[in-house]
Chain A
Amino acid sequence: MQVPSGYGLHHQNYIAPSGHYSQGPGKMTSLPLDSQCGDYYSGLYTVPTQNVVSPSTANQQPGAQQMYSRVPPAPHIVGSTLGSFQCAASSASHLHTSASQPYSSFVNHYNSPAVYSANSSVASQGFPSTCGHYAMSTVSNAAYPSVSYPSVPAGDPYGQMFTSQNAPPVRPAKDNSFSGQNTAISHPSSLPPPPSQQQHQQQSLAEYNTPSWSSAPGLPTQDSLKRNNTGSLAIANNNSANTVADCLSCPVIQNVHPPKSSPAVSTVLSGASSTRMPPAANHPVEPAASVTQPSELLQQKGMQYGEYVNNQASSAPTPLSSTSDDEEEEEEDEEAGIDSSSTTSSASPVPNSYDALEGGSYPDMLSSAASSPAPEPTPDPDPGPAPASTPVAPQPSKMAKPFGYGYPILQPGYQNATAPLNSGVQPSSTVYSGFQQYPQQYPGMNQLSSSLGGLSLQSSPQPESLRPINLTQERNILPVTPVLAPVPNLNLELKKLNCSPDSFRCTLTNIPQTQALLNKAKLPLGLLLHPFRDLTQLPVITSNTIVRCRSCRTYINPFVSFIDQRRWKCNLCYRVNDVPEEFMYNPLTRSYGEPHKRPEVQNSTVEFIASSDYMLRPPQPAVYLFVLDVSHNAVEAGYLTVLSQSLLENLDKLPGDSRTRIGFMTFDSTIHFYNLQEGLSQPQMLIVSDVDDVFLPTPDSLLVNLYESKELIKDLLNALPNMFTNTRETHSALGPALQAAFKLMSPTGGRVSVFQTQLPSLGAGLLQSREDPNQRSSTKVVQHLGPATDFYKKLALDCSGQQTAVDLFLLSSQYSDLASLACMSKYSAGCIYYYPSFHCAHNPSQAEKLQKDLKRYLTRKIGFEAVMRIRCTKGLSMHTFHGNFFVRSTDLLSLANINPDAGFAVQLSIEESLTDTSLVCFQTALLYTSSKGERRIRVHTLCLPVVSSLADVYAGVDVQAAICLLANMAVDRSVSSSLSDARDALVNAVVDSLSAYGSTISNLQHSALIAPSSLKLFPLYVLALLKQKAFRTGTSTRLDDRVYAMCQIKSQPLVHLMKMIHPNLYRIDRLTDEGAVHVNDRVVPQPPLQKLSAEKLTREGAFLMDCGSAFYIWIGKGCDNNFIEDVLGCPNFASIPQKMTYLPELDTLSSERARSFITWLRDGRPLSPILHVVKDESPAKTEFFQHLIEDRTEAAFSYYEFLLHVQQQICK
């Protein structure tokens, strides 16, 4: 620990471990330190990561468990360990300098006398060294018994414990027993499973459905493992050395399904490992529960398993007798709410049970590791090498560096979550070494002792997502590749089935067990939904009966469990339901009797064709009404031309069937209707001038069938732009026009598209200008964010009741009180488009944008008369919804229309403790009428693990989702309270969560601002939010712009919202094909992301900023003329026009690359972004520079200043 003083405390901690490692193998010594010196990250982190890796690899336990499993080896270990191990010992000792006390205490705690005795006995037997270790993780639903069992004496090291819960009762033996297929000495697979296991199985059966049960031909057991939803850890030690091999393997059963991640986990101790750990003694691992539970229990458990093992092995005597009932254990575990316990038996005399502890407490860790396919690989490798009964490690590569746990400096890849993949395969030996060497605990252990927790954090191998990062010292916080959604820490099977993060994301991928824990974490819990997203692949199911839970009406989904062939258990309310006869037949495979193979159970996103039970009335036709402002202002702006043009082009592409109807209304101070009845020679205009009491001049003929009256409609559209050219009418009777539209639409429902260009000034719903231009840049109070009148809201509610959505296109050059007008769309599930200072001649970029938006708007999918219900596992409840809709009930949103670009957010609260479950599920069911008149239900189901420790909660944070949810909450706050309140709340969100995290790592230096890796972007994003138009202060922001930004925050799906909040910056003057992706035969270069700071801009470069709704290409003064010529088509910098909104199609490589990249970015945007070419020096560059959010502005912090500010707040 005396490491380089130069580093802060923090560093020292990290370093220390490295020291260990180096010593350990004997090889080391120097390196880690050096590396550390060189680079903050590389140095500091490498060490820990290494540890992580090795252990993780060794333990094949999936994901988190592994990570955690490397518990601090007790000091004793050292003594026991032999020469090869010395390193470990030494390392341990080193570690202990600082932490020794805590550890010792810890050890004591864990090592109960009984345990020791066991160990001692083992030790006495004196096993040389080679111990093949098999760690299988079996997760039982409820309990995590840790078992230690002596493994077979001789060559076949395979004592594998396998508790497969999933295994069908029918063939328990098979599943349970781990057949050492590989090993020469294979354990009879047919051996009857111990009673305990059977119990497990039964439970598992009840709870789990194992979709694919059949085991692979070669490796039945492994397969079973994989399939098990619950991962069980069984560890078998092999004594390759033979003699008496007492391997105490401790299978830990985890209640928490979190183990899912661990399903297939097996840890193998190969001979190689044995070398390191001369004394072969396996110690029963203590389950995480152990924290609360006495170690004795563990031992007992271990003993039982041991027996079992012995039986299988038909060999070694079991030193321990099982004293406890499995059931009891299970129950206890459940009660304890232990997440997971993964145990690894170590060759060392010291009990390794820690891992179990850690594992238990940190199921999520798995996620990081687990995310990787670790589980699968693990099983295979294990059997192979193990069978040999030789010390050979399963994976050659790993084996190669037996001692190297520490040494091999991790490659960047390892640090990534994916790295863990390897872990599965790696020999346990490395793992063990890792354990011994690193006595570390996880922060989760805080309960034990905070100091311990701190230690563990520092030195322990952690999942990538928990890697502490000193924000103030990390200059390049932004990764070069786009940030991806974290993968929930589930087992592989569930992970594959889980809903795509594009449709369904949760801010915390590890759901805290209780509201108290959530409060402690200070993070928002909520869902981000994009339910009607355009999907390329969507299973559509037609069946007479849609299978749903009878009590909570949940749709059957991949996360339900089949108790037997005829019954399934709801995963939301736990009710047992019958499987209907029809469901027994699988239309895909044409087989009968496999309900778990039905598409509903194999896909988490499915669409049902609903029967008439799901209709209140016959499905409505697609009905579109356009309400157009034709006052002087509107005509002047010239939007009618663009609209007519777009409509004419897309008339045939309007979604709909033969019943599709369409209508037009225009208004200024009067309201004009158009009779388009088939048979008329030309459109007939009907004018209603009584705006105080609007009526429909003719009841029919105003909404006409699109196909029957197509000619008339075309005539009208062609005439429209010129009909009002000479109008002098400046008033706008929007309110009455909307009332008329409502009357027109109410019999059918449908979509009303309103085009408005100014403040409504006549009739109902008239508005006054509320904006004071002098207050635009005020830093104090921003008023008038809420509506001035409830007219539009009431109208929207009426419309919503009649299944009519109102979409607003606001094309105004001056204040139009969007805050009030937006209500018409907000509550009727419409959407809002805003084109500030629209003018078709003066502002061509806006005109182009409108045109593109209209194209998308007119042709995209649409669902009518929709409702969306969100269900979640009992114990959770919906708190607040965000988006455009009307909330009809606590979990029911009424959506008159649904479009593919609508996003929603839901805040959740935890009403009851979730201790008795390890998984929670969320299901959104969107019932809508398609444009073809079909009633359909689109169902998304998301499944997430529950965790009980704070560290796990932090490990699973989805920072982008959290930011989007916070943004939504901040919008609400600004409207209901004030903007400054909302800003404070945002800053507090950072301060609170980071300080809460800081307190979990207690003794870490307080001077630094530490964030877990999962949250490292949190402050940056919050700063970006504070500088976003919606929330910024001090910069001149028009009220409508601000309100529009808020509307977008509320209604945009996460992907688009994130770009709005934090744009992506790329350098595009040197695009290469390196790392390029191929999309539709085009090569799309993938330049790295740059951070949003002027320091990244060089005069010699050209940069593209992707803001979601706009692209800016900034051309530096010294930009290469070749680039300007090849891509922009201008001879030199000076000749680039001031307003350039497109890239010419030039036949050069760089032009092609740039264009294909931009096209690729544009694809799938709801608002087609407009390209602005911004020259350095041009006035437009302020637009560009305001997005460089890491830089300081007159009114706002730079990123670094913001961090200091946060740090200051934390220290207060």
Chain B
Amino acid sequence: MQIIAFDELKTDYKNPIDQCNTLNPLVLPEYLIHAFFCVMFLCAAEWLTLGLNMPLLAYHIWRYMSRPVMSGPGLYDPTTIMNADILAYCQKEGWCKLAFYLLAFFYYLYGGYNFEIEYPSVYLQMLFVYETDTE
């Protein structure tokens, strides 16, 4: 979803203000859901999975801590988003995360077959991935 959005930006279809306004509200939920999963893994004592997710969690925390000064939630500042470096970075970030979520999805799916106990979390994760993918 974000990738598409940034691509739109790059190709000049959309006003950066609008784009940031649509993206910013989604950032925090994404991070929270991911954090929630991490907590779930922690509860389920899935250390390996948790370990895989920890770097991303740390990244999310860092990213949110170093966000530009803004009053609302979100990460993206319409005045800087058009900077080529930042735009490229955001786009790359989007692709990487998509790949990670996809891989994680299949990994959880596989894990789910083996350990039925994890079923609920897998289901949730599926939902989430679906959401990020299609939006």
Binding site for B on A (CB under 8 A): 786-791, 793-794, 797, 801, 827, 877-881, 886-890, 892, 909
Bound together, the chains give a CA A909 to CA B87 distance in angstroms of: 14
The 5 closest A-B pairs by CB, nearest first: A887-B82, A889-B12, A879-B84, A790-B70, A880-B83
Bound together, the chains give a CA A879 to CA B82 distance in angstroms of: 9
Q: How many contacting A-B pairs (Cβ < 8 A)?
A: 47
Q: Is the CB of A797 within 8 A of B12?
A: no
Q: What chain B residues lie within 8 Å of A789 (beta carbons)?
A: 69, 71
Enumerate B71-118 residues with CB–CB distance to A below 8 Å.
71, 77-79, 82-85, 87
Q: What are 17 A-B pairs at a CB distance below 8 A?
A: A789-B69, A790-B71, A791-B71, A797-B17, A801-B17, A878-B84, A879-B83, A879-B84, A880-B84, A881-B82, A887-B16, A887-B79, A887-B83, A888-B16, A889-B12, A890-B12, A892-B12
Q: Is the CB of B78 within 8 A of A890?
A: no
Bound together, the chains give a CA A791 to CA B72 distance in angstroms of: 10
Q: Assess whether B22 is interfacial by the CB under 8 Å rule.
A: no
Q: Is the CB of B84 within 8 A of A797?
A: no
Bound together, the chains give a CA A888 to CA B83 distance in angstroms of: 11
Bound together, the chains give a CA A801 to CA B78 distance in angstroms of: 12
Bound together, the chains give a CA A794 to CA B85 distance in angstroms of: 22
Bound together, the chains give a CA A881 to CA B68 distance in angstroms of: 18
Q: What chain A residues lie within 8 Å of B87 (beta carbons)?
A: 890
Distance (whole angstroms) from the CB of B129 to the closest CB of chain A = 30
Q: Is the interface of B mostly helix, strand, loop or mixed?
A: loop
Bound together, the chains give a CA A788 to CA B68 distance in angstroms of: 10
Q: Is the CB of B78 within 8 A of A797?
A: yes
Residue in A787, A888, A889 whose beta carbon sits within 8 Å of that of B69 in the complex = A787
Q: What chain B residues lie within 8 Å of A788 (beta carbons)?
A: 69
Q: Is the CB of B82 within 8 A of A793?
A: no
Bound together, the chains give a CA A633 to CA B43 distance in angstroms of: 60
A790-B17 contact in complex given A879-B84, A879-B85, A909-B84, C-beta closer than 8 Å: no
Bound together, the chains give a CA A886 to CA B79 distance in angstroms of: 6
Residue in A797, A889, A890, A892 whose beta carbon sits within 8 Å of that of B79 in the complex = A797
Residue of A nearest to B88 (CB): A879
Bound together, the chains give a CA A790 to CA B20 distance in angstroms of: 14
Q: Is the CB of A786 within 8 A of B83?
A: no
Q: What chain A residues lie within 8 Å of B78 (beta carbons)?
A: 797, 886
Binding site for A on B (CB under 8 A): 9-10, 12, 15-17, 68-71, 77-79, 82-85, 87
Q: What chain A residues lie within 8 Å of B12 (beta carbons)?
A: 889-890, 892
Q: Is the CB of B17 within 8 A of A877?
A: no
Q: Is the CB of A827 within 8 A of B84?
A: no
A890-B10 contact in complex given A801-B17, A878-B84, A879-B84, C-beta closer than 8 Å: yes
Bound together, the chains give a CA A890 to CA B15 distance in angstroms of: 11
Q: What chain A residues lie within 8 Å of B68 (beta carbons)?
A: 790
Distance (whole angstroms) from the CB of A41 to the closest CB of chain B = 42
Residue in B10, B17, B85 whose beta carbon sits within 8 Å of that of A880 in the complex = B85
Residue of A nearest to B10 (CB): A890
Q: Is the CB of A827 within 8 A of B79?
A: yes
Bound together, the chains give a CA A786 to CA B82 distance in angstroms of: 19
Residue in B15, B71, B82 whose beta carbon sits within 8 Å of that of A794 in the complex = B71
Q: What chain A residues lie within 8 Å of B16 (beta carbons)?
A: 887-889
Residue in A790, A791, A797, A890 whose beta carbon sits within 8 Å of that of B82 in the complex = A890
Residue in B10, B15, B77, B84 whose beta carbon sits within 8 Å of that of A888 in the complex = B15
Bound together, the chains give a CA A794 to CA B9 distance in angstroms of: 19
Distance (whole angstroms) from the CB of A893 to the closest CB of chain B = 9
Q: What chain B residues lie within 8 Å of A797 (beta carbons)?
A: 17, 78-79
Distance (whole angstroms) from the CB of A7 to the closest CB of chain B = 47
Bound together, the chains give a CA A545 to CA B78 distance in angstroms of: 35
Q: What chain B residues lie within 8 Å of A877 (beta carbons)?
A: 84
Highest count of chain A CB atoms <10 Å: which of B9, B15, B79, B87: B79
Q: What chain B residues lie within 8 Å of A881 (beta carbons)?
A: 82
A786-B69 contact in complex given A877-B84, A879-B85, C-beta closer than 8 Å: yes
Distance (whole angstroms) from the CB of B80 to the closest CB of chain A = 9
Known A794-B71, A879-B83, A890-B82; further 18 A-B contacts with Cβ < 8 A: A786-B69, A790-B69, A790-B71, A790-B77, A797-B17, A797-B78, A801-B17, A877-B84, A879-B84, A879-B85, A880-B84, A886-B78, A886-B79, A887-B82, A887-B83, A890-B10, A890-B84, A890-B87
Residue of A nearest to B83 (CB): A880
Bound together, the chains give a CA A1031 to CA B85 distance in angstroms of: 24
Q: What chain A residues lie within 8 Å of B82 (beta carbons)?
A: 881, 887-890
Distance (whole angstroms) from the CB of A232 to the closest CB of chain B = 39
Bound together, the chains give a CA A684 to CA B35 distance in angstroms of: 59
Distance (whole angstroms) from the CB of B6 to the closest CB of chain A = 11
Distance (whole angstroms) from the CB of B5 to the closest CB of chain A = 14
Residue of B nearest to A820 (CB): B69
Q: What chain A residues lie within 8 Å of B69 (beta carbons)?
A: 786-790
Bound together, the chains give a CA A790 to CA B24 distance in angstroms of: 15
Distance (whole angstroms) from the CB of A763 to the closest CB of chain B = 14
Distance (whole angstroms) from the CB of B89 to the closest CB of chain A = 13
Highest count of chain A CB atoms <10 Å: which of B71, B82, B85: B82
Q: What chain B residues lie within 8 Å of A880 (beta carbons)?
A: 83-85
Bound together, the chains give a CA A909 to CA B15 distance in angstroms of: 23
Highest count of chain B CB atoms <10 Å: which of A878, A881, A888: A888
Residue of B nearest to A885 (CB): B79
Residue of B nearest to A823 (CB): B79
Q: What chain A residues lie within 8 Å of B77 (beta carbons)?
A: 790
